[in-house]
């Protein structure tokens, strides 16, 4: 099986403790992606229905061999996951593995630095707020 490895992001991204991995994906691939995230111990995820355009067109207007769409947006799902630094690359690899078809329109992943996390219920901040019960942190503590 070919290993799909994303290039390391660290050299392009400001160094911080937490990052948001934001992926715009094909809606019908979301069940596969979320099942795999759950399996790796990711418990905090936000999903939204969005519409957009990239290289994949809705209405086809051609410029220099590429299709661009100006008036028809394609339905996508945006998945947002805030995690600690060491979880960023495994999540990127997982998303590629579960969401890639190889066709135009597979989507894109953005990595953003996150300054702080606050859990509303308790007022916890930083690492304590980032940890989710049943998450990877819990999993590794049980060994």
* Binding positions for ligand GLN, rule: CB under 6 A: 41-44, 81-84, 87, 130-132, 135-138
Beta carbon of residue 106, minimum distance to ligand ATP (angstroms, whole number): 22
What Cα–Cα distance (Å) separates residue 70 from each residue in 24, 59, 62, 130?
Answer: 18, 8, 11, 39
Nearest to ligand ATP of 99, 129 (CB atom): 129
The CA distance from 21 to 79, in Å, is: 8
Nearer to ligand ATP, 96 or 112 (CB): 112
Which lies closer to ligand GLN via its Cβ, residue 3 or residue 122? 122
Binding partner at 119 among ligand GLN, ligand ATP, none, C-beta below 5 to 8 Å by kind? ligand ATP
Question: Which of ligand ATP, ligand GLN, none does residue 76 bind (CB under 5 to 8 Å by kind)?
Answer: none
Q: 135 touches which of ligand ATP, ligand GLN, none (CB within 5 to 8 A by kind)?
A: ligand GLN
| In contact, 112 and 20? CB cutoff 8 Å | yes
Query: What is the binding site for ligand ATP (CB under 6 A)?
Result: 44-46, 80-82, 119, 121, 132
β strands within 17-125, DSSP E: 18-25, 46-52, 61-63, 66-68, 74-84, 107-114
| DSSP classification of residue 130 | H
- Name 47's bridge partners: 79
Q: How far is the CB of 108 from ligand GLN (least distance, A)?
A: 20
Query: Please, are residues 18 and 85 in contact by the beta-carbon 8 Å criterion?
Result: yes
């Amino acid at each position: 099986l070919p290993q799909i490895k994303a290039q390391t992001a660290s050299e392009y991204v400001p160094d911080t403790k937490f990052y948001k991995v934001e992926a715009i994906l094909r809606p019908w691939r979301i069940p596969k992606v979320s099942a795999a995230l759950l399996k790796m111990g990711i418990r905090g995820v936000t999903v939204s229905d969005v519409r957009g355009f990239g290289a994949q067109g809705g209405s086809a207007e051609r410029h220099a061999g590429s299709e661009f769409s100006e008036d028809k947006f394609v339905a996508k799902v945006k998945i947002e996951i805030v995690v600690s630094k060491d979880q960023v690359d495994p999540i990127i690899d997982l998303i590629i593995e579960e969401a890639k078809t190889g066709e135009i329109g597979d989507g894109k992943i953005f990595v953003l630095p996150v300054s702080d996390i606050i859990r509303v219920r308790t007022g916890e901040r930083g690492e304590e707020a980032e940890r989710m019960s049943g998450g990877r942190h819990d999993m590794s503590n049980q060994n």
